[in-house]
A and B are shown apart, each in its own frame.
Chain A
């Protein structure tokens, strides 16, 4: 029974993630337009774009190789697997024992490398530029993520995402300063990983400062659809990760029934919605920074993560 429930929740969860991801992008865009006083496109617009793009034949650049044709599938596959590991409405899904935070980081890194190789493939100047910048940002984002993982490991004892979410939802840990620090650090990492505003601008295509879009300049047709889906799903994975790590309240416990799932689903929607709103407000309020200031921004995140670790050592040493 428990196995069946786990399998069922897992399948439902994957379907939910895939369905919500483009919608989330649409909602964020709509919210941003509203905040800036525009009407904005319908939140379903990204889904419509995707379905249209999926039918179209891709045009490959003359210098492009097999890498351009394989990398979108690999990147989206890795991201889907990562999305399957981050709980949404219920803990204890079938893949829960696998949901190691380092593995999730590794899968996202695989997607990132596939994207960077795609950027290199056509041999255009922007592609290589974007790839080099993307990998540079990851150099600062990855250690921040790892040190945050260590903070949770100190609290819970391991790096399994389910165990962490469950342990924090229990409420035995109380409020912790370290968690606030880690939350700020992870939020900064999430902004950088998803190419959001202070690091990159998701709304423009032709900027000399761009990173993410530069690697996709040569993608078209179904390949572009895959890449857009990957970016949307990555955003959802990161927001889901923040929700699971810092607001795991209300998520259904392992082995619970459909009613708890429903409750968890509603609460999850509220959490993701709030995070999307926060993202939209933040992006509207802040200007993009110069590329060479991004390492400082992410270095600050790393410092905060280290501080979180230091404070957690202190408090566990005292308790």
Chain B
């Protein structure tokens, strides 16, 4: 298991592709482009899961792949696009501020996850170690996106990235039980958040998808 070994290389490149798309998400300010990148990440995730199913000989991973492809690659992006279409054009992009800082923060987070994962997994196979580092980076970048973005849709994108990272970590570990269940549960969570009238309610009550509008209402209703 090392470089030049196809099974290693392809898995590695797919993981790296997901990380790259995470950076695109972090950089992109237009929401349409965000949704497209998210769809692409779902497809890459599906490919990664299918490849792992092939390499590990674990058929249940194919189920994960199909779920990822159908839900994250096709259905959710279509739904999100329809949501975005309802927005006025001025709301379809965020003000471009702090991109440089968030990119640097993203770079530092990747460095952090490498430095954390590598010593912690000493003794495991090289493939698992590096893939885990990449998956953790994707998760952290998703969190970073949820923290730094202001509009609800971008935060949903962050949440989906986070969940993609978790699934990537799960499929990369050979013999991990409950992978299908995990990915399905994650998916249900994401769908719940999206469909959970979050965006709708905001849209109707405040005529804005900016979650900072909610701040003055903290503590109300208790």
Contacts and interface: CB of A to CB of B under 8 A. Distances in A.
A43 interface: no
A180 B12 CA distance: 11
B103 A180 contact: no
A171 B104 contact: no
B32 interface: no
Interface stretch (A66-74, A77-85, A87-95, A292-300): A292-300
Interface string B9-45: 1101101110110010001000000000000000000
Given A303-B106, A311-B16, A315-B3, A175 B9 contact: yes
A181 to B, nearest CB: 6
A199 interface: no
B118 interface: yes
A173 interface: yes
Nearest to B5: A174
Contacts of A300: 23, 27, 99, 103
Contact of B4 (A173, A307, A310, A311): A173
A85 to B, nearest CB: 28
A296 B96 contact: yes
By secondary structure, the B interface counts as helix
B100 A184 contact: no
A173 to B, nearest CB: 6
Nearest to B16: A177
A296 B100 contact: yes
Contact of A177 (B4, B5, B15, B114): B15
Contacts of A296: 27, 96, 99-100, 103
A318 B13 contact: no
A207 B110 CA distance: 39
Interface stretch (B49-57, B126-134, B160-168, B213-221): B126-134
Interface centre among A295, A306, A314, by most B CB within 10 Å? Answer: A314
Interface string A180-205: 11001000000000000000000000
B48 to A, nearest CB: 12
Contacts of A293: 96
Contacts of B15: 177
A303 B114 contact: no
A181 B9 CA distance: 14
A14 to B, nearest CB: 35
A181 B118 contact: no
B2 interface: yes
Contact of A174 (B9, B16, B17, B99): B9
B17 A303 contact: no
A175 B10 contact: yes
B137 to A, nearest CB: 9
A4 to B, nearest CB: 35
Contacts of B19: 177, 307
Given A174-B5, A315-B3, A180 B16 contact: yes
Given A173-B3, A174-B3, A303-B106, A180 B130 contact: no
A178 to B, nearest CB: 8
B103 A303 contact: yes
A319 B126 CA distance: 8
Contacts of B20: 180-181, 184, 304
Contacts of A311: 16, 114, 130
B100 A299 contact: yes
Nearest to A290: B96
Interface string A276-312: 0000000000000000010110011001101100110
A64 B3 CA distance: 57
A187 to B, nearest CB: 12
A177 B96 contact: no
18 contacts: A172-B3, A173-B3, A174-B6, A176-B3, A177-B13, A177-B15, A178-B16, A180-B13, A293-B96, A296-B96, A299-B100, A300-B99, A300-B103, A304-B23, A307-B19, A307-B23, A315-B3, A318-B126
Given A178-B16, A314-B133, A319-B126, 17 more contacts: A171-B4, A173-B4, A174-B4, A174-B5, A175-B10, A175-B12, A176-B9, A177-B12, A177-B13, A296-B27, A303-B23, A303-B106, A307-B23, A314-B114, A318-B118, A318-B130, A319-B3
Q: What 7 A-B pairs are tightest by C-beta distance, nearest first?
A: A177-B16, A175-B9, A174-B4, A174-B3, A174-B9, A318-B126, A296-B99
